[in-house]
A = this chain, B = another copy of it.
Amino acid sequence: MNKPERMDTATEDAMLELGRRARAAAHLLSLASPEAKNNALIAAAEALRAATPEILAANVKDIEAARAAGRPESFIDRLLLHEKRINAMADGVAEIAKLADPIGTVLAEWQRPNGLRFQRVRVPLGVIGIIYESRPNVTADAGALALKAGNAAILRGGSESIHSSRVIHAALVAGLKAAGLPEAAISLVPTPDRAAVGMMLTGLNGTVDVIVPRGGKSLVERVQNEARVPVFAHLEGLCHTYVDRNADLAMAVDIVLNAKMRRTGVCGATETLLVDSSAPAAFMPTLVKALLDAGCEVRGDTATQQADARVKPAADADWSTEYLDAIISAREVDGIDGALAHIARYSTQHTDAIVTNDADTAARFQREVDSAIVVHNASTQFADGGEFGFGGEIGIATGKMHARGPVGVEQLTSFKYVVMGNGQTRPS
């Protein structure tokens, strides 16, 4: 087992105490009524709105520090809060209160010939450790979703957003207190100490049930190396959009522009454009021109370079680079087979899209692409729990275990089997 970085005993004790309190809170939450949880969420949303000036002031500190550290604009965009985003965050928390309570739902029910009756019943997961980086709104989204699903959350936000996160967390705690729920139901790790992350990854002495990492490559690598508790795998989003010979070109241009440029810093942004080599000659130049004219750098293969003089040559590394910026890699592929082969090799199994009016080709693409989300004739930027109708998300899981795709309330639950008999014993 890797040793976590050294930390002083006081901080270590504080982390273990955080875990113990979260575990005790999780037990109470697992038995809490839907009303209590919803009251906490509604009160938290109100507290968030009321705290707008404090949140903005705290966010200014975070933004100034990020600018001083020379962070790129896409990073600043993820960090930035303004009134509209704070309102959206509060709306998000209030919306979660309106969702159906998942706990206690009977997912399946059946009887066996021996008279035993079985129910599969939804229960909370327990204590969820969420490790994230720059987006301060994750504090509210993650805390609220975990609460709705009857879980305790231990949030460890990035040091870059710590001022914003603290004020947001205080509003959530105000909501919990107003509803008579334990404050430890949503904890924010108080220290920016990286060793605290190490402790979370080893489970805080058995108190953490699952880790949800939300961040870039270095965080994900650390989690993969150090985690001793289950993890919602959350790799980068190296998303592809494939434009087939049977696509509507105007639709393809709209979709590709949106998929790349709507917000370049999100994990559902398309990073690679694949164009069918048998598509009409106008396809590649039209798509590439639209991207270039919108301010996107294009790095392409020979065919792409021939389509527009502004295209730069793509290096091998480009096909496996998540830019999170106004840059796209582009190449011709040999139809659906070529697209499937390229995606199988380079996709991070997050979200991949096809644009085509051929139903068979679309069906094959959606069947064979082994990604969490496979889109036909729409933008990859719909990869988002809110857009799925999940009422928010903690992130997009790229693993295949438990949660896959947007991690919303239902994905934060487990189940148990309730078996009802009248004296049955098992024959040998």
Please report A residues at the B interface, Cβ cutoff 8 Å.
1-2, 30-31, 104, 110, 112, 116, 118, 123, 125-126, 209-210, 224-225, 228, 230-231, 233, 248, 251, 254-255, 257-259, 262-263, 362, 366-368, 370-379, 381-382, 384, 387-389, 399-402, 404-405, 414-426, 428
Contact = CB atoms under 8 A, between A and B. Distances in A.
Given A376-B419, A377-B423, A425-B255, A224 B228 contact: yes
Nearest to A372: B416
A335 B207 CA distance: 27
Given A1-B225, A399-B230, A370 B123 contact: yes
Contact of A378 (B401, B404, B416, B419): B419
Given A230-B230, A378-B421, A373 B416 contact: yes
18 contacts: A110-B389, A123-B370, A210-B401, A230-B401, A258-B426, A366-B418, A371-B416, A372-B416, A372-B417, A374-B416, A375-B419, A376-B418, A376-B419, A376-B421, A378-B422, A378-B425, A401-B402, A404-B416
Task: Return the 9 tightest CB-CB contacts between A and B, nearest first.
Answer: A378-B421, A258-B425, A400-B414, A402-B402, A378-B424, A251-B423, A381-B426, A230-B401, A375-B419
A123 B425 CA distance: 36
B31 A422 contact: no
Nearest to A427: B262
Nearest to A119: B366
